[in-house]
Amino acid sequence: MNTFKSMYFRVAGVLLTGGLLSVVAPDGNATEEPQWSDAAIKQHIDLQHYHGTLGADQLETLVQAGKSLFSASFTVADGVGRPMATQAIIPTKRKRPPRSEFARTAGLDANACVSCHHQPIAGGAGDFTANVFVSEGFQLSDFDSTDPQFSNERNTNHLFGAGLVELLAREMTMELHQQRRVALTEARDSGETIKKKLHTKGVAFGVIVAHADGRVDTRNILGVDDDLIVKPFSQKGVMTSLRQFTVNALNHHHGMQANERFGARWTGSDDHDEDSMLSEITSGDVSALVAYQATLKVPSQVALSAEWKAASKRGSKLFDQLECNSCHIRALPLNTLLFTDPGPFDAAGTLRQGEAGEPSVYDLSLFEWASALQRNSEGQWMVPLFGDLKRHVIADTRVAQLGNELLSQRFVERNEFMTAELWGVGSTAPYGHRGDLTTLGEVIAAHGGDARDARDQYLKLTEAERSDINAFLKSLIIEP
């Protein structure tokens, strides 16, 4: 299945021309506004056409529709702006309209998804100018300051391989939940307190303590919330799914409000932001955006010369010797390439399974990039993300540069961050949560906390050895 190769693509009832989307009516005629229309969305996606396991052509259609939406520069004709609503992820009204719709703090702060996710290509990362200001603690107030006491400034992550990352998180969550159930059952049956190590896909998440009366002590859980749901997205690891991430981002960055959170079911109105545009983003639109992101190819490992290959090979060995791979695990095993949307762990305010008929299922094995994934002796796909989907303390009293945020997010400690997946790191400078470190050497030297020992050993290496590690990391790229 070859994807994204034609600017003019028509299949399974959708016409794509010049990056604009329109849905073809049953009689074969496209219900399309003129090409010169101000609206970027010519026709919304009907989710009813995409239930169950999608065939190759049907999935290609939905992915292309999502790509069109991801690249679209939304306008007021689409519903851009939220004059009487805030950037908060929980639908929240303003007391008065903002002085200006666009601002680099609480938004609006982008015209298109690709405005920030563009490096080295669409779906990628962003440089410092594309930084996001995370301000969910200020649901009821506006602010126009970039002072860190008001918001956390974050660099934009890339989305390549995101579908596999979410599938890994789902499987890890299921295993952790099973371990909790076993602990509770053993405690109930024995009448004793049971301690159970939480461990999935080679990643340890601490210890859970189950009591015979059904109480659970979560104080020794590490790197994941007490609900044991692995949340793989955002630099804090607080977003469960691409769907949740998409609904959040559409409102925060564009003022485009998805019905599944901001519509009448939850707010009593189809115009929660009072901009006179009804139903700005349908569940089908969100599904198309999810399908596009979930099927983005995985990053590659490429060295451009024999000299580079030799240096990269040496750097790879040093990477393991320093135990960088204890957090940046080279590959995690995955049982299935079937991506279900909505997923099993989405929360209220995001479309959930059972709320809109049978969920959609995307078979990622249909994509050409999937054939490059290696499989282990048990037949599992090995996802080479160089991460562990776990939060770690990344700063201490002596090496504190990466602990530079003053506001907590979703009750995560300020010095804890999700392990950055290193696949694609050679294509996505700058580095650090704020994007204020220009080289890989700088960000390695900024590691404190749980990574302090590895960082200290790195600084003891010779200049040639550090160059070899750089060669290895720079070989992990997103190919154009």
**229 located within any domain:** no
> Both 349 and 329 in a single domain?
no
**225 located within any domain:** no
Do residues 433 and 156 lie in contact, with contact meaning Cβ atoms separated by under 8 Å?
A: no
Coil, strand, or helix at residue 476? Answer: strand
Coil, strand, or helix at residue 128? Answer: helix
Domain boundary among 345, 375, 405: 375
**74 located within any domain:** yes
Domain boundary among 350, 375, 400: 375
pLDDT at 22: 42
Per-residue pLDDT of the chain (480 residues; tens, 9 = 90+): 444 333 323 333 333 433 334 433 333 333 466 778 899 998 899 998 999 999 999 999 999 999 999 999 999 999 999 999 988 889 999 888 888 888 887 778 999 999 999 999 999 999 999 898 886 545 555 666 777 777 888 999 999 999 999 999 999 999 999 999 999 999 999 999 999 999 999 999 999 999 999 999 999 999 999 999 999 999 999 999 999 999 999 999 999 999 999 999 999 999 999 999 999 999 999 999 999 999 999 999 997 899 999 999 999 999 999 999 999 999 999 999 999 999 999 989 999 998 988 999 999 999 999 999 999 999 999 999 999 999 999 999 999 999 888 877 778 888 999 999 999 999 999 999 999 999 999 999 999 999 999 999 999 999 999 999 999 999 999 998
383: nearest Cα among 230, 231, 203, 162: 162
Q: What is the CATH number of the domain that holds 468?
A: 1.10.760.10
Do residues 199 and 205 lie in contact, with contact meaning Cβ atoms separated by under 8 Å?
A: yes
pLDDT at 100: 81
Range 264-272, long-range pairs (CB < 8 A, 24+ positions): 266/91, 266/349, 267/91, 272/85, 272/91, 272/93
Task: Report CA 79 to chain centroid distance, whole Å.
Answer: 24
Distance (Å, whole) CA 294 – CA 279: 24
> Both 285 and 315 in a single domain?
no
pLDDT at 107: 77
> Both 292 and 394 in a single domain?
no
Orientation of helix 283-294 relative to helix 56-71, angle to 10°:
100
Distance (Å, whole) CA 264 – CA 124: 34
Apex CA 81: angle with CA 39 and CA 115, to 5°?
70
451: nearest Cα among 398, 392, 405: 392
pLDDT at 140: 54
Which residues span the domain enclosing 194? 163-217
Tokens coding 217: 């002590």
For the chain, how big is the Rg over CA atoms in Å? Answer: 23
> Both 8 and 39 in a single domain?
yes
Distance (Å, whole) CA 480 – CA 122: 9
Coil, strand, or helix at residue 470? Answer: helix
Distance (Å, whole) CA 107 – CA 100: 10
**224 located within any domain:** no
> Both 308 and 290 in a single domain?
no
- Say if residue 130 is exposed, middle or buried (CB neighbours under 10 Å; 0-12, 13-18, 19+): middle
Residue 390 contacts by C-beta under 8 Å, 6 or more apart in sequence?
203, 205, 222, 223, 224, 230, 237, 327, 418, 419
> Both 172 and 196 in a single domain?
yes
Pseudo-torsion of CA 220, 226, 232, 237, nearest 10°?
Answer: -80
Whole-prediction pTM: 0.92
Before 120, cis peptide (omega within 30)? yes
Distance (Å, whole) CA 377 – CA 295: 25
> Both 108 and 199 in a single domain?
no
> Both 252 and 199 in a single domain?
no
> Both 170 and 149 in a single domain?
no
> Both 40 and 79 in a single domain?
yes
> Both 57 and 9 in a single domain?
yes
Apex CA 161: angle with CA 160 and CA 162, to 5°?
90
Tokens coding 452: 């302090």
Tokens coding 348: 């209220």
174: nearest Cα among 197, 200, 194: 200
Question: How many distinct structural domains can be found in the chain?
Answer: 3
Tokens coding 309: 């290959």
**230 located within any domain:** no
**176 located within any domain:** yes
**125 located within any domain:** yes
DSSP 3-state percent helix, strand, coil across the chain (nearest 5): 30, 15, 55
Apex CA 460: angle with CA 455 and CA 462, to 5°?
120
**97 located within any domain:** yes
> Both 172 and 102 in a single domain?
no
pLDDT at 32: 61
pLDDT at 106: 74
